[in-house]
Amino acid sequence: MIPIIDLHCHPAIKVYMFNKDIRHIHHPWSDVYPFGMHVDLPGMKESNVRVILCSHYIPEAGFTRLHKSEWLFKILRWVLHGIMKRWESYNNPDDAYSKVLQSIDKINHQVAAGSEQFNVVNVTNIAEFKIAWKLGKTIVLHTLEGSHQLGSHSNYLEHYTTHLKILKNKGVCSITLAHFFENSVCDTGGGIPPSTAHKIGYPENACTEKGLTSIGADVVHWCQDNGMIIDLVHSSVTTRTQVYEILEKRQNEGKIVRPVSFTHTGIRELAGPNMKIDCDRYYLPDLDEIEKISKYKGVVGLILMNYWLIGIEEDDPGKIDNAIPYILQSIDLIYKRLLHYDSIAIGTDLDGFTQVPDDLGHIRLLSKISSAIQEKLGTEIAEKICYKNALGLLQHAWD
Ligand SMILES: [Zn+2]
């Protein structure tokens, strides 16, 4: 069975928020039930998922201020006090930063406890990673979704780089600069599908296009200098453009330039025509942008969520919706432009409260993707897409 590297999944959210255990077998009964666990170590073993980039996310305080949800959060604070105190708080500076350290510790604890049974390990740098990979270990890496977890309430760059250093020493290898709300580093490009956005009162066109803050530009340089992968998912077009300008400038100045990536995404040309919301269309990279990512040796991790793959929401638990055909279609489209398969990877976003497709509803089913790609394009190409391109990204962008 071809090994798989999942560039983006979220078991850490369920572990941190709901005390789930990645060592246990889970059978989530619906794609929209929030407590269901879609990534666990038994499932990874079954589908030969050798590496996950386990993304940590402390839910942003901004949610509690959305006009439709304020009342809901008042009730939740009362009824689910234990869970709600894990949410980011507005009042405490650096709250998300201190909480994300707890989230990392919780995963490390479970990985250590499962090390013998699942031959699993957490590594903190690329040298350790290479050794663990050669030894055939299953590897859990840490990543962050959203720079709100780097800190807040400070205008000094050192404030954020001090946290970055600590997080990097703990093994954080990648960060999405943006998430659902503006933070100290940049604006947001959005990323919530329309039906959910409507229910909670999240703005339809959330992308404010303010771009990077001056601290944000320095954080980009810090990641390039120190070897942390910049993930552009959730970033606005303005932020992305500024990041590419920084890379180009660094190249002209003879500085080190590392790949940047979209770890969990679809393609604008495929999904965009079905989307009614402009921000959602521009949230996705188009083929020109993917070409740029490829030029810097970055990759595009294809997501398991049909709204971002084809622009059609399929969140009805009573209806069967599959993603494999659209993953294959996305691969074809990228190949037609790039004429190679070296920049395509897999980033499931499982456990990120996504609309999970029925054919890939748990990580134990992921070998269906490797098999489908292998059947259509052959073993060599399937190996590239399923793990070799992701290995290249880690090697080039992470120190
Ligand atoms: Zn995301």
Per-residue pLDDT of 148-188, as tens digits, reads 999 988 889 999 999 999 999 999 999 999 999 999 999 99
- Distance, in Å, from the CA atom of 34 to the CA atom of 40, rounded to the nearest integer, reads 16
pLDDT for residue 33 is more than 70: no
Contact 38, 66 (CB under 8 A): no
- Distance, in Å, from the CA atom of 59 to the CA atom of 99, rounded to the nearest integer, reads 10
Q: Show the CA angle centred on residue 141, arms to residues 140 and 142, nearest 5°.
A: 125
Ligand 1 centroid from CA 373, angstroms: 24
Ligand 1 centroid from CA 191, angstroms: 7
Ligand 1 centroid from CA 247, angstroms: 23
Ligand 1 centroid from CA 230, angstroms: 13
Ligand 1 centroid from CA 127, angstroms: 27
Could you give the number of structural domains in the chain? 1
pLDDT for residue 230 is more than 90: yes
pLDDT for residue 321 is more than 90: no
Entry pTM:
0.95
Structural domain for 201, as ranges = 4-397
Ligand 1 centroid from CA 245, angstroms: 23
What's the whole-number average pLDDT of the chain?
93
List the CATH number of the domain containing 390: 3.20.20.140
Ligand 1 centroid from CA 350, angstroms: 10
Task: Please name the amino acid found at residue 17.
Answer: M
Q: What are the residues facing 301 on neighbouring strands?
A: 345
Ligand 1 centroid from CA 291, angstroms: 21
- pLDDT on residue 171: 97
Ligand 1 centroid from CA 120, angstroms: 25
Contact 345, 339 (CB under 8 A): no
Ligand 1 centroid from CA 263, angstroms: 8
> 239 φ, ψ to 5°?
-60, -45
Ligand 1 centroid from CA 10, angstroms: 9
Two tokens at 187? 């604006």
Ligand 1 centroid from CA 158, angstroms: 26
pLDDT for residue 78 is more than 70: no
Q: What is the mean pLDDT of residues 9-15?
A: 95
Q: By CB neighbour count within 10 A (0-12 exposed, 13-18 middle, 19+ buried), where does 87 fall? A: buried
Per-residue pLDDT of 176-186, as tens digits, reads 999 999 999 99
Per-residue pLDDT of 262-310, as tens digits, reads 999 999 999 999 999 999 999 999 999 999 999 999 999 999 999 999 9
Ligand 1 centroid from CA 234, angstroms: 6
Ligand 1 centroid from CA 378, angstroms: 30
Ligand 1 centroid from CA 136, angstroms: 29
Q: Which residues contact 38 (CB under 8 A, 6 or more apart)?
A: 9, 11, 26, 28, 350, 351, 356, 361, 362, 363
Ligand 1 centroid from CA 179, angstroms: 7
Tell me the percentage of the chain whose pLDDT exceeds 70: 95
Per-residue pLDDT of 356-394, as tens digits, reads 888 888 999 999 999 999 999 999 999 999 999 999 999
- Distance, in Å, from the CA atom of 339 to the CA atom of 201, rounded to the nearest integer, reads 42
Ligand 1 centroid from CA 253, angstroms: 32
pLDDT bracket for residue 32 (50, 70, 90): low
Ligand 1 centroid from CA 176, angstroms: 8
Ligand 1 centroid from CA 254, angstroms: 32
